[in-house]
Structures are given as structure tokens and as C-alpha cells.
Amino acid sequence: MEWGMLERRIVLLVGSPSGDSSVREALASEPFELVAAPESAALATLEERAIDAVVLETTAEAATTTALLATLQDRWPGLPVVIVTDDASPERIAEIVALGASDLLLRPVAAPQLAFAVRKALATAQKTAAAPPPPRAETGIVFGRSPTMQSLRELIDQVAPSTSTALVRGESGTGKELVARALHRLSPRVNRPFIKIDCTSLPETLIESELFGYEKGAFTGATAQKLGRVQLADTGTLFLDEVGELALPLQAKLLRLLQDREFERLGGKQTLRVDVRVIAATHRDLEGMVQKGEFRQDLFYRLNVVPLWIAPLRARRADVPELAAYFCEEVVKASGRAPVALSAEALKLLSSQRWPGNARQLQNFVERLVVLCRSGTISDADVKAELERPVRFATETGTVGADASGAPDGGPALALGEVVRSAERQALVRALEQAAGNRSAAARLLGVSRTTLYTKLEEYGLL
């Protein structure tokens, strides 16, 4: 057993009120970073930090230990847990072993014995994590029958075991996060953290502190040290959703992380190192942004090591029936209602639509069909009725009617009616003029996110 490979591992010591306080002393001389927490705070600590092993002290009277151990194995499968107890009954030992404990030691326990048990548990977990995942394991994605999605499935299987940075690209609603999670789930890091940050959900001033964390006193209100998403993802996967929204100064810091795996917390002087795989996603035209100076070319090359493209749903309509059937089944399961199925005619009608919102729009539409269905079958008449249900679009001259597919009242099945498109384009132009070209300000004027604004600007050729 190569003990050197276990250096700098983080061990969480979880103690019951009457636990043996000598456990910390027994491990103090080992090359571990020790973190202590009572049973009541164990789960919160595991959510905040990347823990490599748990030493759980318990007594015969500690009824909460079984529930805690079951939760650990359910939420953090593969996390090694060493039990220190004074209950040597065969029933108790069998129960703890059945719940997945790596080892069980009886008090009084000698320091070398405890250290060996922790080292052995860490080494076993490390070998298990390093083993390649089973081929064609469940990815959480319905790929469909189209050749483009089958090729994507094969590429995910090929790329997942590596540590290379991946860039998932495609329109909004195509399932980029699902692809990122599939890459993590099929990788050797499957039992390590998967940490996501949405680069559009936070103001530019907060993204840096969320990514890299900050030290106490770094700014007004920083009353305690905060770990960033980068550090929380150590040994696991960091998913940067909509990476094209990052401001240029933050792009430089992300580039350093990708190149050197180093960073500093906001307000800190210590350089920290992490072992993290980065997966990014965007719907933006990064090549065009590079040409305009809005995105760093060197960062683009670092992110685009392995590009994975997801085609829009309108380009792979053969996948619609399988996706719709899957969404229907999931809604039925979640609602607990009697089974509902889509008829062949209904699936054919769904496949004929453009679905500008891609799989996300189809999912929401199918959910509405299931909720409103009064029988066990959704017919093509049900689908047609929902497609023609009027939706009101607000414009400067009043409201414009459209059906659920985006076509004006009585008009053809277009993604958006010409009247609506004209009104939208006019609103975009006016907002940009009022904001003097500042796109963040224009988004605020329109009451939409920056992501939505950029999508519309691209759609109308205003970028």
C-alpha cells in the first residue's frame, strides 16, 4: 500500500457527546487535515468541504448513528467511514457493516490501530475511484435515435474518463448541463463533488467571490472566511454554465486556474492549488466574441480542448417521440397519477413542430398535456388544442395574439409571428439606444437576463 499517495487528505471527525476525545490525538501525527464536527453538524460540513474520510465516534445509546451512516452512504456513496464504538454486540456490528462502514473499531482503540484503519479505508476508496466506470453506464440523458445524438453519446463515453477540459455548446434548452453531469457521472471522479456555478445568475461583482472565495475582512461584510466553488470542487468537477458571460478581468483569473490549477481567495495572499476538472458550457458564439475582443482567445483555446456540440431539436426531429414519451413518463411518476401515454398521432404532431426552446420547451409542453389530460391517452386533438391555445404578447401598441407555437392568430406555424418579431426587434433597438449600447443596462430596461438579451440580439442580427 502506497501511503504517500494519501498525503493531505481531509478527515472529518464526528463525535458523539460522550465520545472518546483521544481520537484527534491518535491521528494528530498523521499526514491528514483533521476537521471536527458534532453529529448534528456532520452533513452541513460535508456539503461545505470536500471530505476524503469520516471517523464516526458513537456509543451504544446513540440512536442517531444508524440514520447518519445511512445518509452518508446515500448522499456520498464511496465515502469511507470508520466507526469507533463501545457496542460490540453482533447485531450492532452486522447493522453497521450492512450500512457500508469501511471499518469498525472497539474502544479502547490504540492510536496505531486507528491510523491504520483510516489509511486502509482511504487507500481502498482511492483505488475504487480510480477504476474506470462500467461501460455505457446510465448518463441521465435521453439521446434519441438521430445520428448526431448517437455520435454525442459515443463522444461522451470516450471523453468522460479523461481529465481534459470540455466545452459543451448548443442553444438554450438543449441540455448542456445534462451533458456536463454525464461527463462527471461516467468519470473516475463520480464519487467526488460536482459543483456548478451559473455565470448569468450572479452580478459581476459577486461571481469572483463565489468562484474563488474570500478571506475574513476582504470587504465590508466579510465577517468570516468563505470557500469558493473552485475549492469546493477540489478532486471533483467544476461546471461553469454560460461561461461566455464572464467579464474580461475574471476571464484572466479563470485562465490561470486552467493553466496552473492555482488561485487566491479574494483578499488573500496565499496561493492555493486544486485538482479540479473544468467543464464549461455556452450558447454564445465564442469565436465571434474573440474577434470582437469580448472573450480572451487564450482562454477560449484552454476551454475548447474537447468541444461537444448539441444540435437544436428542430435539426433532429426524429428524437422528439422518444423525448416526449420520456417526459410524459417522468411527469406521471412525479405526480403519482394514473398512467398517461401519448398516442402515435400525438407524437407525430409534436415531431412536426420547430420547438425554438428545444428540449426544455418540449418538456414543459408535455407536462402541460399530462396535467390537463382527463383520460389515459393524449391524442393529436389534445396536442392541437394546446398548440392553438392563445398566448398574449405585450407590445407598445397593445397585445398581439399567438398560438402556443408562437404563430400569430390564424397564422402559419412559425417560431414567432412576424408582428411579434417586429415588435421585439423594435424593443431591442430602443433599449440599446437608451442604454447607450450598454447591454447589461439594456437587459435591465427590458426586464430580462443578459442571457436572454444576447439570445435575442443574435436572433435579430443586432450583435
Q: 455 pLDDT exceeds 70?
A: yes
Both 403 and 436 in a single domain?
Answer: yes
Considering the entire predicted model, what is its pTM?
A: 0.59
Q: 295 pLDDT exceeds 70?
A: yes
pLDDT tens sequence across 138-195: 566 888 888 888 889 999 999 999 999 999 999 989 999 999 999 999 999 988 999 9
Both 344 and 421 in a single domain?
Answer: no
- CATH code where residue 293 lies: 3.40.50.300
Both 159 and 209 in a single domain?
Answer: yes
What is the pLDDT, as a whole number, of residue 406? 45
> pLDDT: is 87 or 264 the higher one?
264
Residue 142 lies in a domain: no
- CATH code where residue 422 lies: 1.10.10
Q: 119 pLDDT exceeds 90?
A: no
Both 258 and 115 in a single domain?
Answer: no
Tell me the average pLDDT across 1-24: 60
Q: 412 pLDDT exceeds 60?
A: no
pLDDT tens sequence across 20-72: 456 777 777 777 888 888 888 888 888 777 788 888 887 655 566 777 877 77
C-alpha–C-alpha distance, residues 52 and 54, integer Å? 7
Both 235 and 334 in a single domain?
Answer: no
- CATH code where residue 49 lies: 3.40.50.2300
Q: 238 pLDDT exceeds 80?
A: yes
Q: Give the closest residue to 311 by CA, choosing from 155, 176, 147, 170.
A: 170
Exposure of 269 in the CB half-sphere (CA atoms within 13 A): 1
Q: 418 pLDDT exceeds 60?
A: no
Residue 296 lies in a domain: yes
- SS3 (DSSP) at 262: strand
Q: 252 pLDDT exceeds 70?
A: yes
Q: Give the closest residue to 193 by CA, choosing from 358, 78, 31.
A: 78
Mean confidence (pLDDT) of the chain: 80
- CATH code where residue 351 lies: 1.10.8.60
Q: Is the dihedral of CA 431, 432, 437, 442 positive or negative?
A: positive
Both 220 and 231 in a single domain?
Answer: yes
Q: Which domain holds residue 433?
A: 398-459
What is the pLDDT, as a whole number, of residue 446? 79
What is the pLDDT, as a whole number, of residue 400? 46
Q: 256 pLDDT exceeds 90?
A: yes
Q: Based on the structure, what is the number of domains in the chain?
A: 4
Distances (CA, A) of 51 to 185, 196, 261: 19, 18, 19
Both 334 and 420 in a single domain?
Answer: no
Both 267 and 378 in a single domain?
Answer: no
- SS3 (DSSP) at 123: helix
Q: Is the dihedral of CA 341, 346, 352, 357 positive or negative?
A: negative
Helices (H) and strands (E) in the chain, counts: 19, 18
